[in-house]
Amino acid sequence: MTIEGLISQRLRLPSPPAIAVKILEAVKQDNVSMGQLADIIASDPALTARLLKIANSSMYSLRYPVASIDKALTVLGVNVLKNIALSFVISEELRGCGEEGFDIDYFWRRAVTMAVAAELVAKFVGQPNDEAFVTGLVADIGILLLQRDDPVVYRELLDEHCRRDVPVSVVEKERFGFDHAELTATLLANWGLPDKVTVPVRFHHAPAEVQGKWQDTVEVVHLADQLSAIYHGSDMGRKVSELQALMTSRFGLSQPAVTMLVDSVAEKAREVFASFDLEPGEMMPYSQMLEEANEELREMNLSCEQLVMELKQARERSERLAGELRQTNTRLRELVLRDGLTGLYNHRYFQEMVDHEIERVRRYGGCFSLLMFDLDHFKAVNDRFGHPVGDLVLKNIAEATVAAVRASDIVARYGGEEFAVILPHADSAGLRVFAERLRRTIESLATEIGGEKIRVTVSLGGTVFEAGSSHLEKLTVIDTADRALYQSKALGRNRVTIFPLEGSRRNGTEH
């Protein structure tokens, strides 16, 4: 059975509004004048006022205000004004379709946002379309007809859509044999609207099913639907990311350009809402929402996990802020992973990076070296000069070590007066050269307090993790370097010892 046959079995389609019929019949005539169309529109004073209001809005950015329908027709053209008029007439006709429990204002806010988005997307991607606004506005009115026909059944259908987490059109086809997009397209075709409107409406939830001349037009309405869902749904961050990826791959738009488009939709939709007697509520541009979210984060003194949770609670429509707040989270992670005294990476980050280097060598080959060193007789420094001076010595040694390493190396405070250096791609020879150079650097370093110079030495121990050692675990690597360090202490301190991973202390080398 055809879609039309299935629809006729299910419900009776409403007749088009009388003034819509007059407008459509007039524009079909080859010899229709602007004056005739203006007279039809002017016969409805409320429609005239709404038309002039939206014609003077930022949607069309006219250089001069228009004060009459005749002037609006001259500036905007017959097609644009016809479609704006139809948008108002159709929305007014169906405004009362909401049954109890159905949020009719939410439906029309989403529809108007989609209309504005369709108009903007068409311009953004270089496919201006006079029918874009009205197509976006009426694309989902089949939902109104289905829920009006049987509110209980459609409420159950919506509950099933949420429970199964599948598109509502999937559940509609299972229940009725058709979905609301097919119903909408059939209704608009019966009302006499052209294929430029009915085809994009029919396929805007399934753009992959369309090829050829309608493909770009359908895709514009599909993107408009996604843009509207960003502001009238949940999971905003994921939807914005998906939209950015799609518009970049399909139309070559940069991320800033897509963000500008997303913001423009909210700004212009809020202005157009008033023409449809709708309240904008809390709707605001995406970038403004991010700014406010970041401001809230700056005022919170919480961990990363608490920050995300707090923000989720504060903003119900922002369920996944991690993507949008990546830079803030990176800064917070940096604070969490730094040692408060020396500014070096802390023990937790050290452990993560040893895991990272082991995984890198296992996957790609190569090697990395681990060097650990401990201050000799540091307790005597603290006992004689006090802990604040001891802290200063630790800071100076940390700075000297950072200055001695490569940009790719990682210096961490392992704990107390013990430090560690991870050297990616450094083999045994490179480790020996670096360790000895670092030992001499620290040995020559002096911390001056009250005219007295404090000097300390360090004992160093290291090992090398190579592809041939990939079966060994992290604990073995750290333990080997640590044993080498204590071998240096046992041999008199202020020296370097390197142990191979699978060797014993006797197999090591000492300098």
Please write the tens of the pLDDT for every residue from 217-273.
Answer: 888 899 989 888 888 877 777 888 888 888 888 888 888 888 888 898 988 888 888
Q: Do domains 3-284 and 347-510 have the same CATH topology?
A: no
User: Does residue 357 have an active-site annotation?
Assistant: no
What lies within 8 Å, CB to CB, of 292 at 6+ separation is none
Q: Name the helix (H) or strand (E) containing 465.
A: strand 458-466
Span 345-399, pLDDT tens digits: 999 999 999 999 999 999 989 999 999 999 999 999 999 999 999 999 999 999 9
- Which comes out higher in pLDDT, residue 203 or 126? 203
pLDDT at 505: 39
What DSSP string runs through 105-171?
HHHHHHHHHHHHHHHHHHHHTT---TTHHHHHHHTTHHHHHHHHH-HHHHHHHHHHHHHHT--HHHH
Q: Which fold has domain 347-510?
A: Alpha-Beta Plaits (3.30.70)
Span 56-93, pLDDT tens digits: 777 777 777 877 877 777 777 777 777 777 777 777 77
The pLDDT mean for the chain works out to 83
What is the dotted CATH code of the domain comprising 3-284?
A: 1.10.3210.10
pLDDT band at 508 (very low <50, low <70, confident <90, very high): low
Phi, psi for 445 (deg, rounded to 5):
-80, 135
Instruction: Give residue limits of the domains in the chain.
Output: 3-284, 289-336, 347-510
**Residue 33: pLDDT above 70?**
no
The model's pTM? 0.54
Please report, as a single letter, which amino acid is at residue 203: F
pLDDT at 2: 66
For residue 298, give the 3-state DSSP assignment. Answer: helix
From the candidates 4, 417, 436, 452, give the one annotated as an active-site residue.
417
Using CA atoms, how far apart are residues 42 and 45, in angstroms rounded to an integer? 6
Phi, psi for 251 (deg, rounded to 5):
-120, 0
pLDDT band at 6 (very low <50, low <70, confident <90, very high): low
Cα atoms in the Cβ-side hemisphere of radius 13 Å centred on 129: 29
pLDDT at 384: 92
pLDDT at 1: 55
Instruction: Compute CA distances 31 → 37, 88, 246, whole Å.
Output: 11, 25, 43
